[in-house]
Structure 1
Amino acid sequence: MRTLSLLTAGLLLASGAAHAVDEAAAIELAKNNGCLSCHSAKEKIVGPAYSAVHEKYKDDKDAVASLVQSIQYGSKGKWGRIPMPPHPGMSPADIKTLAEWVMTIKP
């Protein structure tokens, strides 16, 4: 059974299905939740560019979990003196979608 699970996981990874992010849905979430007021893909606005976030966390195996925490609870001091506000009203699934999407935006 474990061999079958590993084989299935390997096939999903090879096909890209395990890490597929619906970019259009993520962009819509970012628009609807005010993310794009402070962030953009390639340029710093108030907060860092998403590509800079990707660069900072690209070697961190827990990057998505770290970003989920920052989105949900806010953060301060990671990118300067301006804090990121929390987003407690967003669903865990939407927050995870945004975090995974941010990690796809390369410099």
Structure 2
Amino acid sequence: MKALLPLLPLLGALAFAAPAQASEAIVKKARCVACHAVDQKRVGPAYKEVAAKYRGDKAAPAALFDKVRHGGSGNWGQVPMMPHPADKISDDDLKAAIAWILALD
């Protein structure tokens, strides 16, 4: 057991890196990156802007889920966000992507 102690920080980092990489892959596969980037505005806001806007908002995951599913406009400008149904991104993948976005600093 003592032999594993020096490895704990590395194991912890790997545990967090895998879900982050998986969630980033989800947004790429669903083509969210056509309109969004992590740290720069494109057609839509940067993911970091979204994270900052909703930081501490317990209702944010559900609100963002609905926004992605049904689309809409007015929150970030005049360009509407198109709806993204479950055949484009599954419920589980969408929830994982939203959690990843909201965790960005």
Q: TM class, shorter-chain normalised?
A: 0.7 to 0.9
Number of residue pairs the alignment of both structures matches: 89
Which aligned pairs between 1:59-70 and structure 2 lie closer than 5 A? 59-70=56-67
Q: Distance in 1 between matches of 2:90 and 2:41?
A: 26
Q: Which runs of 5+ in 2 are unaligned?
A: 1-16
Which aligned pairs between 1:22-101 and structure 2 lie closer than 5 A? 22-88=19-85, 89=87, 90-101=89-100
TM-score for both structures, normalised by structure 1: 0.76
Cα pair 1:58 1:103 within 8 Å, conserved: yes
Runs of 4+ in 1 over 3 A off after TM superposition: none
Between structure 1 and structure 2, the one with the greater Rg is: 2
Q: Which runs of 5+ in 1 are unaligned?
A: 1-19
Q: Distance in 2 between matches of 1:75 and 1:59?
A: 23
RMSD over equivalenced CA pairs, Å: 2.0
Residue 74 of structure 1: how far off its partner (Å): 1.2
Q: Distance in 2 between matches of 1:87 and 1:21?
A: 25
